[in-house]
Amino acid sequence: MAERKSWDSAYKYLFSSRQVFHQFLTRFVEEDFVQGISVDDVELVDKSFVSDELLDRESDIIYKVNLPENEVYIYVLLEFQSTPDKTIPVRMLLYILQLYDQLFRSSTSGLLPAVFPVLLYNGSRPWTVPFNLNELVAPRIPAKYIPSFEYYPIIERDIPPEKLERIKGLVAAIMYLEQQEDDAALKSTIDKAIAMIAEEQPEQLRQFSHWINRMFRGSLENNDIDKVHQLTEVKTMLAEVVDKIEQRGEQRGEQRGEQRGMQKKTFEYARKMLDRGFSIADIADITDLSEQEIRELAE
């Protein structure tokens, strides 16, 4: 899909809202401990607690969840490269160990809190990386000495569109749009995406609009987005962004057509010069074609 900006920064912005993160956690993580968690129970970890090194990476999000008897940290790694990275289990474990190091320094007594690792991947290629680190280690020693670390995978391409429509909500709508492979498909699914956020509050509607504008390099004014209160306004803005994407695509197509036309004329000019006995070196100097291209043309 055309004109997308950095996925990491767009999601980092989106998940800075604890309401959005709560929706992501409770609707996409199928584990018992997340059931019953309220928005008030989740808290974005800030720089007063965790080192700048952990928080400055655009691909990392850390939340603290206050459960009835203890607290749990949710660590989300955003992996939006087109090709799966086989080092992910090692990287995630390394980041969590750095987090534990920070927790150790600030802890006075008792056990360390649990850290729940989540991978969010939206690439188009299948996720082929093992879910447990021990599958990447050669079993040449007793298994008890090989680290066993497993992360929770959320692979967007593997979530059926029907399930996203059933889950509903802002995060599901965004994943639904991301699954569209081209701009034409994106435009045809606007109505379904809008229906999925029909129950969202005005604040979430504005967050959705801001995300769309960031994600697709829209030229919408943030002041206009901040005035959004109704679903119809979001639909209008989304349609406007898609139209501008299509216009830029058409402009790029016209530019490529013009470039191909100019290139064709250059080759025709070079062919005439060959017919008139010009040397390959002189033709290359005049047309800016390489000597290899001219030799191939002569053959």
The residues that bridge with 61 in the sheet, in sequence order, are: 76
Whether pTM > 0.85 for this model: the answer is no
How many angstroms from the chain centroid is the CA of residue 103?
29
Q: To the nearest 5 percent, what fractions of the chain are helix, strand and coil? A: 55, 10, 35
Q: Distance between CA 204 and CA 92 in Å, rounded?
A: 30
Phi-psi map region of 237: left, alpha, beta (phi>0 left; psi -120 to 50 alpha): alpha
Number of alpha helices (DSSP H) and beta strands (DSSP E) in the chain: 13, 5
pLDDT: is 253 or 233 the higher one?
233
Which of 111, 112, 78, 117 has its CA nearest to residue 94? 117
pLDDT band at 254 (very low <50, low <70, confident <90, very high): very low
Domain residue ranges of the chain, discontinuous segments joined by +:
7-158, 201-299
Residues 6+ apart with CB under 8 A from 94: none
pLDDT: is 31 or 3 the higher one?
31
Tell me which of 88-92, 217-221, 230-234 is least confident: 217-221
Which pLDDT value is given to residue 150?
Answer: 95
- Average confidence (pLDDT) over 105-124: 84
Please classify residue 275 by burial: count the beta carbons closer than 10 Å to its beta carbon, then call 0-12 exposed, 13-18 middle and 19+ buried.
Answer: exposed
CA distances to 16, 212, 213 from 13, rounded to whole Å, are 5, 11, 12
pLDDT, tens digit, 9 for 90 and up, residues 123-177: 888 999 999 999 999 999 999 999 999 999 999 999 999 999 999 999 998 899 8
Q: Distance between CA 61 and CA 48 in Å, rounded?
A: 15
Which pLDDT value is given to residue 52?
Answer: 57
At residue 88, the 3 state secondary structure works out as helix
Which pLDDT value is given to residue 128?
Answer: 92
